[in-house]
Each structure stands twice: as C-alpha cells, then as structure tokens.
Amino acid sequence: MPTVTLNKNVFEKLVGKKLPIEKLKERISMLGTDLESIEGNEIQVEIFPNRPDMLSEQGFARAFSSFIGVKTGLKKYKIKKSGHKVIVGKGMEKIRPYTVCAIVRNLKFDDEKIREVIQVQEKLHTTFCRNRKKAAIGIYPLENIKLPIYFKAMNPKEIKFRPLEAKKEMTGLQILSQHPTGRDYGHLVEGLNKFAVFMDSNNEIMSLTPIINSHLTGKVNEKTTDIFIEFSGYDLEYQKIGLNMLAALFSDMGGQVESMEIVYPDKTITTPNLEPTKMKIDVEYVNKKIGLNLKEKEMKTYMERMGLGYEAGKALVPAYRADIMHPVDIAEDIAIAFGFENFEEEIPKVSTIGEEDSFEVFKRRVANILVGLGLIETCSYHLINKDDQTTKMNTKLELVKLSNPTTEEYNTLRQWMTPCLMNVFKHNRQHEYPQKIFDMGVAFKKNKNTETNVEEFTRVGVGISQPNTDYTEIKQILDYLLRMLDVKYEIIEYEHESFISGRVGRAIVKGKKVAVVGEIHPQILSNFDLDMPVAVFELNLTQLFELIREKN
C-alpha cells in the first residue's frame, strides 16, 4: 500500500477541526487506513489501494472531515467552461487513444503546495495509473502554453525538446536512452513506430507521454497561477475518474476548475465532469451484508459521514471515487461510518470440526507441481475486457457482461484463462525470456440451470513464451502434471480459432474434455502486440477434480 506524508497543519485547516493527538490517531485508523506515525508536523499514513482519492492532503482531509462529522455529505464543485480545446490527431488508436484535460486558474503555489502536487502525482502514477501503464498525468503552467493544444503521434526522430531537468534538447529516442525517466519508462512505448506527444499552437512539444514533460512548458513553480492538466491512456472512463480526482484536489486548494472540449476525429467530449453518479440503495441488502438492522434514515446519516449524498432512495457517489462500483461498496462505507469498533462479536451457532477444503488442497498440489517445473504463478482479475476474450482471441463467446461497468477495461467476467495469460505476456515484453507462467482462478459462463444463471468453475492456464517454444514443449508440461496427479488421458485432434491449425489438441479424461493445449496463432500474437511465440494449455480443475473423486 502507498504511504503518503501529510502536512499536519494543512490537513487540520482543510478538515476544519483540530483533534487531540490520541483522538486523531484513533479516528484516522478507523477511517479504513493504516496510520504509520504522527511526528511533529508530519502525518504518515498508508492508503488502501481502493482509495486513490485520499492520496493528498486535500483528498484525505475531505474524507476525514466527513467521517468525524464536520463537513458531511456530498461536496459540490463548480466547473466553468473555458471555451478552449484539445484536438486529438488521427492514428492515435493504437498508440495512446484517449486523453481528458482541464484548466485550473487562480492557484497560489509555494514550496509546500508544489511538494503536495508532486507527491500526489507520483503516488497516483504508482498506484491508480499502475506505474503509468494504464494512465499518465501531466501538469503544466498555462502561461507557457498557447492554446489550443494538440494530442498527436510523431516519429521519435522528429520529437525534439528539452525534457525536465535536462541540460539540452533531445530527440524522442535520446530521451529513452539518455534521460533517467526515459530509461525507467521507455518500455511503455516499446515497439511503437510513433510516440504520443502534447503540442501547443506554437508547435512547442509539451511532453512525450507517458514519459516526461518539457522543461520549458511543463515545470510548475512559485510564480505559476494557472495550470493545464491532462490524463492520457487506454481507457476513457478510467482517465475521467483520474482527472476528477485532480480537479477536486485543485478546487480544494483554492483553484477555479475550467472544462475543456476534447475533439476526437469522431466525437467531442467535455471534461472534467464532477457531477455525482446515482446508485440505488436496497436497505435489506445492506443490512444483510453488514449484519445490522438500520433504518433508511440512519443509512443516509452514515453515507453522509463517508462523503456520499442521498436522494430518493439512491446514493450520490462523488465523481472522484474510483472504488464504488457495486451496492456492496456502499454497504462497506456504511459499515465504516457505523464504526467497526461498535460491531458486537458473535460466536457462530454451528458446531463443526474444521478441516481444509479438499479442493483447495488439490489446487495447492497443482500449483506446487507447476512451481516445481520452474513456472511463475501470476494472479489476474475475474473481470476482463470483452474484446480481450473474443475479438483479440478470434472467438465468439456468450460472455457474462456487467450491466453497468465503471470502466470498459473490466466489462465482462472471464470465461477462460488464456486471454489473462496473453495480457501478462503483453505487459512484460520488456523482461527477459523465456517467460513461463501459470494463472489459476475462477472463470464464469452462462447457465440457466443455476440460481444466478451463471456457473463458476476453476481453471488453470499455463503459458510459455520464448523463441523456440512449440506444441511439444507445452504438452510435456501437461503430461507431467497429469502424471503427477495419477490421471490417464488422451489427446484428440481439435480445431480452435485461437491456435495454429494442426498444433492444437483436446485432452480427454474418462470421455470428458478437460483441457486444450497448443500454439497460439500468429494473428492472436499480433492482436496482443507480441512478437515472441506463445504456447499454452488450459485445464478445467473443477471438472478434473470431480473425475478424480469418481475414481477414488
């Protein structure tokens, strides 16, 4: 978890109330964060990854002030229209397709405020932006920029500007090889023929994103009063939430936030938008989840303690909250506001002899066998992008879709593990080969015979990526795994759109199809921006476990 250092004086001024030191420590810990220390004028606190909006004095104070009952309820922000535009060039789809931007005016920077801004930008880059893989942030002094701004693709050799803290002008390729930040993040643009840049109307390059800003147009100092902010990345909704966090922060810092029109080749959007989203509250559902018997009016009070609003049976969720995606998240906030220290401990009215679940023992045995073969275990999310499972894998599947996804990156439940393996390979292209990995987890498919119309099952995917990997190598791993599990099987001919024809097979155990094994098709590799061959097998552990139990 990220640790932030907060200025205690700034924090208490923003909160609007000064608590005794012991009370302050106790309340911070009960907010759902982990207090490291309070020494002098510094508060060190660990922020849970699901609350990136609290990675600054302003964001943390906003949440804390509501929590202790000083400034409760939904905080409202006013955004003016700037009338200015950011124009997105053609051909950005495969380079860096999205950006969202804003202008903030009337700021008063000093050393302390600059420290705060640098810290929150660094922490957001590390956590919310996943080390700049999912998003990157740029903050620029507006007085050095001529509007409108252009977000475009350029040949690396034609990109020339002086990067932050550099002594001379460099080309795009020189930045990647000679500048420390370029060496740290150069892998994010590896394989691209063109790089994404922000450029103003004077043809001054403002930044090479997601690497570094220009020293001339991208360095905020004490004289700066107006700033331009941009988020860029691969998921539009994700960028919007990130920009909303910064817009709220700078507004709390005393600035006037102004929106901008982002002109794409096929559409125009206006950002930021700090209007809350609405989520229906089911009183019975919330009480069941947290084990209480609260009335709707009481829930309203507790939601306001967490900075939420309430209107006609619906929660008003702040636009900067990235963690509230489902009613269960509202239930969690209500539980935090109620106070974990106020819950009564109960001994379950069940008398049983505890033992480890046999399927968990089986899964651990499978994992240990694979680790013994030198494979590295990865862990991916249950949620994945629809195109990763279908279009990029050249398949047509009836997926379990989310009715209201917060981000397009996670809009379906995964039905198989292989796309997850492909994404791991994609995001680790900068590391040395061979890469040998496995991923074990729950997958989902539609089934009208279940209560929820969704069936869950556990699968393991095993993948190898190296210059000479082939069907034989991956089949040998499957052979060894099933032999160690004392399972006899056969391979039959099989055709699958994601695999090379003639180099893919189906594993059969007791007449049941339990696995697919083969070499990934070159088109699929290209879809995931991979140059190295990949061979995988995917095994249904739930089904295999039942077959083994039948045998015993």
Residue 551, pLDDT above cutoff 70: no
Reduced DSSP (H G I as helix, E B as strand, rest coil) percent helix, strand, coil of the chain, to 5? 35, 30, 40
pTM value is 0.73
CB count in 10 Å sphere of residue 55: 26
Where does the pLDDT of residue 76 fall: very low under 50, low under 70, confident under 90, or very high at 90 and above?
A: very high
Least trusted range by pLDDT, from 1-5, 193-197, 440-444, 469-473: 1-5
Q: Write down all domains in the chain, each with its CATH number in brackets.
A: 3-67 (3.30.56.10), 80-271 (3.50.40.10), 277-340 (3.30.56.10), 358-551 (3.30.930.10)
pLDDT tens digits for range 482-507 = 999 999 999 999 999 999 999 999 99
The answer to whether residues 234 and 223 touch, using CB atoms and an 8 Å cutoff, is no
How is residue 202 written in tokens? 């004077």
pLDDT tens digits for range 496-548 = 999 999 999 999 999 999 999 999 999 999 999 999 999 999 999 999 999 99
Q: Which long-range contacts (CB under 8 A, 24 or more apart) does 161-165 make?
A: 161/204, 161/205, 161/208, 161/214, 161/215, 161/216, 162/214, 162/215, 162/216, 163/208, 163/211, 163/212, 163/213, 163/214, 163/215, 164/212, 164/213, 164/214, 164/215, 164/218, 164/219, 165/215
How is residue 127 written in tokens? 């956590």
pLDDT tens digits for range 117-128 = 999 999 999 999
Average pLDDT value for the chain: 93
Least trusted range by pLDDT, from 29-33, 144-148, 303-307: 29-33
The count of residues in the chain is 552
Where does the pLDDT of residue 355 fall: very low under 50, low under 70, confident under 90, or very high at 90 and above?
A: confident
**pLDDT-above-70 percentage for the chain:** 99
pLDDT tens digits for range 398-416 = 999 988 787 788 899 999 9
The answer to whether residues 60 and 52 touch, using CB atoms and an 8 Å cutoff, is no
Q: Which residues contact 449 (CB under 8 A, 6 or more apart)?
A: none
